[in-house]
Amino acid sequence: MNNTIHRALDRLYLACIWLAGSCIFLMSLFIPWGIFARYVLGTGSQWPEPVSILLMVVFTFFGAAVAYRAGAHIAVAMLTDRLPERAQHVLRGVVHGLMLCISAFMVFYGTSLCMGTWGQTIPDLPWMPVGAAYLPVPLGGFITLLFVLEHVVFGSQAHRPVVLFDALPDHTTATPDSKDA
Amino acid sequence: QNMVLKAHDTHPAGYPTVVAVENMGKKLDAATNGRIKVQMFPGAVLGQEKEAVEQAQLGAIQLARISLGVIGPVVPEVDVFNMPFVFRDIAHMRKVIDGQVGTDLLDKVSASQARLVALGWMDGGARSLYTKKPVRTPADLKGVKVRMMGNPLFVDTMNAMGGNGISMAYGEVFSALQTGVIDGAENNPPSMFTSNHFTTGAKYYTQTNHLIIPEILVMSKVTWDKLSAQDKALVKRVAREAQMDQRALWDKSVEEYTGKLKAAGVEFIQIDTKPFFDATAPVRTKYGAKFGELMQRIAAVQ
Amino acid sequence: MMEAAVLLGSFLLLILIGMPVAYALGVSALIGAWWIDIPLDAVMIAISSGVNKFSLLAIPFFVLAGAIMAEGGMARRLVAFANVLVGFIRGGLSLVNILASTFFGAISGSSMADTASVGSVLIPEMSKKGYPRDFATAVTVAGSVQAILIPPSHNAVIYSLAAGGTVSIAALFMAGVLPGLLMGLTLAVLCLITAKRRGFPKGEVIPMRQALRICADALWGLMTMVIILGGILSGVFTATESASVAVLWAFFVTMFIYRDYQWREIPKLVHRTVKTLAIVMILIGFAASFGYIMTLMQIPLKITTFLTTLSDNRYVILGMINLLLLVLGTLMDMAPLILILTPILLPVVKLIGVDPVHFGMIMMVNLGIGLITPPVGGVLFVGSAVGKLPIEQVVKALTPFFFALLLVLVAVTYIPALSLWLPGLVLGS
Ligand code: NA
Ligand code: NA
């Protein structure tokens, strides 16, 4: 059972990485296309800019969920490291609770924002509802919520093979200032 | 009950629209013995116009001075003002927004799904061309890259006028002009001055007046519904006064900044706009078909 | 007053109990919004629109280009190139280290990546040649601060954004060149003096043919900076566009010119970049919501008024701000500090007549120093990991370098021309 959960979340994790990675990949092609259109085709292309910005938003919220599971977010461990283990344990619990709260808020208020703005469209991209552009907030929040729950129940997953897949052969990717939350 | 109306404007402090809404706040304050006040947040500190509209819809802010560009997706009729040369001149535009057409459009916005109450119009002046080499005719614009607002209609307008319309975020325009990514842009004299664009070598201001797009002052529907009938009437009245107040401030500001630009070496070029009007006829046909009746009503205003 | 205490107090508390900084900003923004009765959906608008900005696109591009270059064998070639130029002097390898970081700074804006890649080549090499390992690590760590100043610098982009887009990225890039070079020079002088005092070895002169080959190899990568700066300054493209071209170029050079990076490594590189970047981007988003609530509470205005009642002497105020930035820099990371402090401090310094571009450089140097100071210093930590030394030992060896960097800070703060002369020259006005 536990294994099934981890495996499912591993797949979700990979899906987020691929989604975020594809966003960067496409952005890196769209913006140069805009330059090409300006010089070679003589007239500016209007869509690369707003579309790339949307991809960046998608990247941010799905990437942030990935970074959470990998324990990569920047945190300050100065005070907590000096406390006795018991107190550290309590504070970790508080932080987990707050992480659950903010993810839940992103899901709830993000959804309400999407619904409230679904009837409007983005001036630059007339086919795109504003609400759709806000979708990454509740979706990214929901995935973060799942990863936080997993962390609370099973402990940090930052050492799973799928998370460590990108580790360099040596220590150079270490980001020791980022504390597991 | 006591309320503080948070007002949003992307224009900086001291700009006519900002001052007019601040004055409106003073009148509200005086008329209600301090029960209703306005707190102004100028200079886009709370976000760009798209976010301002969304915040007003939620009731996070109460007043916002916004361009029609962000209302158009909800109330398509207001887009009629985006048509190039839809007004003969500024006086014509003012007659239209002061009259029945203006009132009808405000009511349309208030009655729409936008969750906003349109209180009044604000004058955005006329947008004209500024470029690095002088422009007098459509032929002079050949190969000239001009930044336009991000809407296919405006890009097409510039292409029809003879140049190359380039859409670009406003924040990028200064360095793009400076480095030569673009050869010109278009705006009114106060904006050209306050955005520092005149220091980039774009020192020929050709008075094409190709776009005359009024702006709009809206209130959050959430807030509006909390007002008593008496307060609603008061707000409507001071907003109408703000519309006239802003107009006087605007004219003074255009005069002042035109002087400043001239002193800084900008050459103002008066032209016959007829060739540009004719050149943009296909744009009006393409985008204006759905506004046929409205455009006739506007043209009929003398 | 109470409002400010709720917002800032809850943020500080959350940070201290170990909440990730980005989410701490978000939670305190929500608390603040609830306190002043702002609908919480509006906080979501602020978070999302915080990362919904064109100029921000430069950040993913510069980070990705830097990662491709650094991992794709560029770092090794830059070290070899620096070795040709200064390796033969006494203390040569320490100079090579500084100069390699100068070059690295020209392709990347990340001090952490600089320390990791230059350090993993040079620290073992230096200790093999008889340099104390702690000195080698300290040189690497201190030298890497240059990457933030020398263009491209995504921290400069973040500053431009935090300044409300009123400061041109092109101007900030040009402004960083001289302070960056001054920093390299100051550190090099310190290395020369130390080498003489402690009798560090000289390297060998590289034979001409070999030297030329090394230079040609390195130039492919250094072309990145030429493309970026040349492209921006000549008006071929904007700063943001230049960043996207840098990605294509970095990819082209790595995969088709150098060809020692394997295609199957690319997914890993993307995976790493997603994580590094997402941390920065979500931080920007949540910081935007925090800034939104701060603005609604008019906190920046109140702090400006307060600071200007303390003194109206610009040197005094700048001194106070430097002190504040240094202290906060020891405790927190660079990007969140830029995002939180710029809207507060920029109005103050503008009032006393400091150019925003100049102030950006002051901020970069201050917070750059913060990256290598305990107790919280990302680059310091990476340095001690790469150097395989305890942090305390690296900090001890770093002491003279801190003084050198403070000297640079004083120069950058009180000689505006250092930052403003070059942008004025190339961009005009
Ligand atoms: Na750099
Ligand atoms: Na530090």
Of all residues in chain A, the percent with pLDDT exceeding 70 is: 90
Per-residue pLDDT at C35 exceeds 90: yes
Q: Which residues span the domain enclosing C11?
A: 2-426
- pLDDT, position A176: 36
- Residue from A120, A121, A137 whose CB has the most chain B CBs within 10 Å, to mutate: A120
Beta strands in chain B (DSSP E): 3-8, 36-41, 63-66, 116-122, 126-131, 145-148, 164-167, 184-187, 204-212, 215-220, 267-269
Average pLDDT over residues C172-192: 96
Higher pLDDT, C21 or C401: C401
Indicate the residue of A43, A46, A116 with minimum beta-carbon distance to B57: A116
- pLDDT, position A43: 66
- pLDDT, position A44: 64
- Close Cβ partners of C118 (under 8 Å, ≥ 6 residues apart): C75, C78, C79, C97, C100, C101, C104, C140, C143, C144
Average pLDDT over residues A147-168: 87
Per-residue pLDDT at A25 exceeds 90: yes
- A180 in a structural domain: no
Rounded-to-integer distance, Cα C316 and Cα C325, Å: 14
**CA dihedral of residues C150, C155, C159, C164 (deg, nearest 10):** 120
Please name the residue of chain A whose CA is at the shortest distance from the CA of residue B114.
A120
pLDDT band (50, 70, 90) for residue C386: confident
Burial letters for C347-385: b for 16+ Cβ neighbours within 10 Å, e otherwise? bbbeebebbbbbbbbbbbbbbbbbbbbeebbbbbbbbbb
Rounded-to-integer distance, Cα C196 and Cα C66, Å: 35
For residue B268, give the 3-state DSSP assignment. strand
Rounded-to-integer distance, Cα A38 and Cα A42, Å: 5
Domain count, chain C: 1
> Which strands form B164-167's sheet, in the order they lie side by side?
B164-167, B145-148, B184-187, B126-131, B204-212, B267-269
- pLDDT, position C142: 97
Average pLDDT over residues A113-121: 88
Q: How many other C-beta atoms are found inside a 10 Å radius of the C-beta of residue A119?
A: 15
Token pair recorded at residue C282 = 């979500």
Rounded-to-integer distance, Cα C81 and Cα C75, Å: 10
Per-residue pLDDT at A173 exceeds 60: no
CB B38 within 8 A of CB B21: yes
Rounded-to-integer distance, Cα B9 and Cα B18, Å: 7
Closest alpha carbon to C51 in A133, A98, B173: A133
Q: Which ligand ends up closest to the CA of C104?
A: 1
Average pLDDT over residues A153-169: 82
Rounded-to-integer distance, Cα C359 and Cα C353, Å: 10
- A176 in a structural domain: no
Residues surrounding ion ligand 1 at CB below 5 Å: C 105, 109, 147, 150, 153
Residue A112 at interface with chain B, using a CB cutoff of 8 Å: no
Nearest 5°: the CA angle C239, C240, C242 is 65
Chains contacting C (3 or more CB pairs within 8 Å): A, B
Residue A28 at interface with chain C, using a CB cutoff of 8 Å: yes
For residue A43, the 8-state DSSP code is S
Per-residue pLDDT at C166 exceeds 90: no
- pLDDT, position A174: 38
Token pair recorded at residue B238 = 């001071």
Q: Which amino acid is at A38?
A: R
Per-residue pLDDT at B215 exceeds 50: yes
What residues 395-414 of chain C have any CB closer than 8 A to a CB of chain A?
Answer: none
- pLDDT, position A42: 67
Average pLDDT over residues A95-117: 95
Average pLDDT over residues C339-346: 87
Rounded-to-integer distance, Cα A169 and Cα C411, Å: 41
Query: CB under 8 Å, gap of 24 or more: what pairs does A25-30 form?
Result: A25/C270, A26/A52, A26/A55, A27/A52, A27/A55, A27/A56, A27/A59, A27/C57, A27/C60, A27/C61, A27/C244, A28/C61, A28/C64, A28/C244, A28/C247, A28/C248, A30/A55
- pLDDT, position C283: 86
Q: Which residues span the domain enclosing A98?
A: 2-167
Average pLDDT over residues B198-213: 93
CA–centroid distance, B297 to ligand 1, in Å, is 58
Rounded-to-integer distance, Cα C84 and Cα C7, Å: 54
Average pLDDT over residues C406-428: 92
Which residues of chain A make contact with B72, given a CB cutoff of 8 A? Answer: 123
Which residues of chain A make contact with C22, given a CB cutoff of 8 A? Answer: 64, 73-74
Is B73–A126 a contact, with Cβ atoms under 8 angstroms apart?
A: yes
- pLDDT, position A167: 73
Q: What is the pLDDT of residues C212-265, one digit of tens each?
A: 999 999 998 888 888 888 888 887 888 888 889 999 999 999 999 988 888 888
Token pair recorded at residue C39 = 């609908």
pLDDT band (50, 70, 90) for residue C70: confident
**CA dihedral of residues B250, B252, B257, B259 (deg, nearest 10):** 150
Q: Give whole-number Cα distances, B121 to B83, B93, B97, B241, in Å.
A: 18, 11, 7, 10
For residue B270, the 8-state DSSP code is -
CB C246 within 8 A of CB C62: yes
Closest alpha carbon to C234 in B184, B179, B172, B173: B179
- A175 in a structural domain: no
Q: Which amino acid is at C207?
A: P
Is A49–B150 a contact, with Cβ atoms under 8 angstroms apart?
A: yes
pLDDT band (50, 70, 90) for residue A168: low
What residues 290-329 of chain C have any CB closer than 8 A to a CB of chain B?
Answer: 292, 295-296
Rounded-to-integer distance, Cα C380 and Cα C114, Å: 12
**CA dihedral of residues C378, C380, C383, C384 (deg, nearest 10):** -110
Rounded-to-integer distance, Cα C379 and Cα C293, Å: 31
CB B132 within 8 A of CB B178: no
CA–centroid distance, B291 to ligand 1, in Å, is 52
Average pLDDT over residues C382-386: 87
Domain count, chain A: 1
Rounded-to-integer distance, Cα B105 and Cα B215, Å: 12
Q: What is the 3-state secondary structure (H, E, C) of B64-113?
A: EEECHHHCCCCCHHHHHHHCCCCCCCHHHHHHHHHCHHHHHHHHHHHHCC
pLDDT band (50, 70, 90) for residue A82: confident
pLDDT band (50, 70, 90) for residue B237: very high
Beta strands in A6-157 (DSSP E): 121-122, 125-129
For residue A53, the 8-state DSSP code is H
State the smallest CA–CA distance between residue A121 and chain C in angstroms. 15
- pLDDT, position C298: 86
pLDDT band (50, 70, 90) for residue A171: very low
Of all residues in chain C, the percent with pLDDT exceeding 90 is: 45
Average pLDDT over residues C54-81: 86
Rounded-to-integer distance, Cα C345 and Cα C341, Å: 6
Which residues of chain C make contact with A112, given a CB cutoff of 8 A? Answer: 41
| pTM score | 0.86
Per-residue pLDDT at C103 exceeds 60: yes
- Close Cβ partners of B232 (under 8 Å, ≥ 6 residues apart): B224
Indicate the residue of C49, C168, C238 with minimum beta-carbon distance to B47: C49
Residue A80 at interface with chain B, using a CB cutoff of 8 Å: no
- How many Cα neighbours within 13 Å face the side chain of A105? 23
- pLDDT, position A175: 40
What residues 165-184 of chain C have any CB closer than 8 A to a CB of chain B?
Answer: 165, 168-171
Q: What is the pLDDT of residues B98-121, one digit of tens each?
A: 999 999 999 999 999 889 999 999
> Which strands form B36-41's sheet, in the order they lie side by side?
B36-41, B3-8, B63-66, B215-220, B116-122
Token pair recorded at residue A14 = 């990979």
Burial of C423 (C-beta count, 10 Å sphere; 0-12/13-18/19+):
buried
Is B171–C165 a contact, with Cβ atoms under 8 angstroms apart?
A: yes
Q: What is the 3-state secondary structure (H, E, C) of chain C?
A: CHHHHHHHHHHHHHHHCCCCHHHHHHHHHHHHHHHCCCCHHHHHHHHHHHCCCHHHHHHHHHHHHHHHHHHHHHHHHHHHHHHHHHCCCECHHHHHHHHHHHHHHHHCCCHHHHHHHHHHHHHHHHHHCCCCHHHHHHHHHHHCCHHHHCCCCHHHHHHHHHCCCCCCHHHHHHHHHHHHHHHHHHHHHHHHHHHHHHCCCECCCCCHHHHHHHHHHHHHHHHHHHHHHHHHHHCCCCHHHHHHHHHHHHHHHHHHHHCCCCHHHHHHHHHHHHHHHHHHHHHHHHHHHHHHHHHHCCHHHHHHHHHHHHCCCHHHHHHHHHHHHHHHHHHCCHHHHHHHHHHHHHHHHHHCCCCHHHHHHHHHHHHHHHCCCCCCCHHHHHHHHHHCCCHHHHHHHHHHHHHHHHHHHHHHHHCHHHHHHHHHHHHCC
Rounded-to-integer distance, Cα C355 and Cα C415, Å: 12
Q: Which helix (H) or strand (E) holds B32?
A: none
Say what angle helices C356-370 and C391-414 make with each other, to 10 degrees.
Answer: 170
Is B50–A123 a contact, with Cβ atoms under 8 angstroms apart?
A: yes
Q: What's chain B's average pLDDT?
A: 92
- A111 in a structural domain: yes
Rounded-to-integer distance, Cα A117 and Cα A131, Å: 5
CB B131 within 8 A of CB B184: yes
